[in-house]
Structure 1
Amino acid sequence: MEKGRLEAFSDGVLAIIITIMVLELKVPHGDGWDVLVQQWPVFLSYVLSFIYVGIYWNNHHHLLHAAEKVNGSVLWSNLHLLFWLSLMPVTTGWMGENHFAKVPVAIYGMVLLMCAIAWQPLQYSLICANGGKTSMLAQALGSDWKGKVAVAIYLSGILLAFVAPWVSCLLYATVAAMWFIPDRRIESRIKHEQA
């Protein structure tokens, strides 16, 4: 199968997710700084989620760029990832509206965890569809230590949310910082293959 439809569909879904999140930001009622200060939790949760969706979009682009073809397994794995990402607007709004309360922060972390877990079958199915363990994509991805560390940090953040939600938010932001720069393994492997 051609990968163009998968890329276009995924880009569209991610654009809609960002649009829904920004629509949750309400126009402040008033013209003073105090009105803006009241909105900072909603804005801060939006910024964090925007960065996360951007990271997934960027890495999704790199991952598919390295793949030559897709199959039904890839399509379903991609939908699995998009399902969890589509829950970001709800959990983002809930967390912001409730000023980073314990349960919303824990649920937000669970959605982040499920997105990270859903990324693994997508990688695996793309590797299988593009030559298996000896493929350029498999070699580029390697052991994926950042993915494993991210899952551990998310689990810690979820548990800590019931004690110190702000620590959880800092952990979630730490994972975002880890992934902010796109995964260079794929780019460098493509350049190596073309040289």
Structure 2
Amino acid sequence: MKTSRLEAFSDGVIAIIITIMVLEMKVPHGAGLSALAPLWPVFLSYALSFVYIGLYWNNHHHMFQLTESINGGVLWANLHLLFWLSLLPFATGWMGENHFERWPTVLYGLNLLCCAIAYYLLQTVIVRHQGPQSQLATALGRDLKGKISPVLYIAGILGAWLVSAWVGLGFFVFVALMWLVPDRRLENRIAALSRRSGRSGTDSV
């Protein structure tokens, strides 16, 4: 099976998730700047989740650029990822409305952990379907960032639970920043394939 319908469906779901999150930011009744002050936790939680959704969309897009075909297992693994991503608006809203209290922050971290595990499972299912010598498997290599992220999420969850919600948030922000640093593995592989395809097209003329 080709990947086009899966990618289109995933893009639509992710767009809806972002829309739901921004709708949680209610317009204040007052007209002064002071009316915005109570909204800062909601805005900060929205901004963090927006970055995470953007990171997942970006990496999902690059991963499927190196995926030649899919099977039923990939479809279900992708739905599993979308399920946990679709819960982010709830976790984000609860954390923001309660000003980063302990339990909402713990739940947010658990949601992020489940998203990371689901993405890793999707990646693993694709590699298993295409084989260890596939373009995706070669581009991923040892995938250190993908393996260390769940560990940092667990540290953040424990920090929020045992110490302070802000300690947990520190870990969650750190993981987001870690993934914001450009990861050239997949992009370089895609570019190499494009150059190879271009040379092949020139040779055949």
In structure 1, the residue matched to 2:202 is none
Normalised by the length of structure 1, the TM-score is 0.96
Structure-1 residue corresponding to 2:148: 149
Give, in whole Å, the separation in 1 of the partners of 2:25 and 2:36. 11
Shift of 1:187: 1.3
Match of 2:110 in 1: 110
Bigger Rg over Cα: 2
* Deviation larger for 91-100 or 172-181: 172-181
Task: Quote the Cα distance in structure 2 between the aligned partners of 1:14 and 1:2.
Answer: 20
Deviations, residues 42-97 of structure 1 (Å, cap 9, x unaligned): 01000000110010000000000111111101000100100100000000000000
The aligned residue for residue 30 of structure 2 is: 30
Q: How does 1:48-87 map to 2 (within 5 A)?
A: 48-87=48-87
Q: Cα deviation per residue 1:98-155 (whole Å; 9 max; x = unaligned)?
A: 000000000000000000001111111111222x111111010111111122111100
Taking structure 2 as the reference length, the TM-score comes to: 0.91
The ranges of structure 1 where at least 4 consecutive aligned residues each deviate by more than 6 angstroms after the TM superposition are: none
Alpha-carbon distance between aligned partners in 2 of 1:171 and 1:31, rounded to the nearest angstrom: 36
Q: What are the within-5 Å matches in structure 2 for residues 43-192 of structure 1?
A: 43-130=43-130, 132-162=131-161, 163-192=163-192
After TM superposition, give the deviation of residue 189 of structure 1 in Å: 1.7
Kept in 2: contact 1:58–1:182 (CA 8 A): no
Distance 1:182 1:10 in 2: 22
User: For structure 1, which runs of at least 5 residues remain unmatched after alignment?
Assistant: none
Give the Cα separation in 2 of the matches to 1:156 and 1:129: 32
Output the CA distance in 1 between the equivalents of 2:101 and 2:50: 20
CA distance in 2, matches of 1:126, 1:96: 35
* Mean Cα deviation higher: 176-185 or 49-58: 176-185
Structure 1: which amino acid aligns with 2:26?
Answer: K
| 1: CA distance, partners of 2:184 / 2:113 | 22
**Cα distance between partner residues in 2 of 1:182 and 1:25:** 30
Q: Percent identity?
A: 58
**1:125 aligned partner, one-letter code:** V
Report the aligned-residue RMSD. 1.1
Q: Distance in 1 between matches of 2:34 and 2:117?
A: 40
Quick one: distance in 1 between partners of 2:135 and 2:177? 27
Q: Is the CA contact 2:65–2:190 (under 8 Å) kept in the aligned structure 1?
A: no
Which deviates further from its counterpart, 11-20 or 25-34?
Answer: 25-34
Give the AA of the match of 2:150.
Answer: V
Offset of residue 182 of structure 1: 5.0
CA distance in 2 between partners of 1:181 and 1:79 (Å): 27
SS at match of 1:39: helix
The 5-angstrom pairing of residues 12-31 of structure 1 reads 12-31=12-31
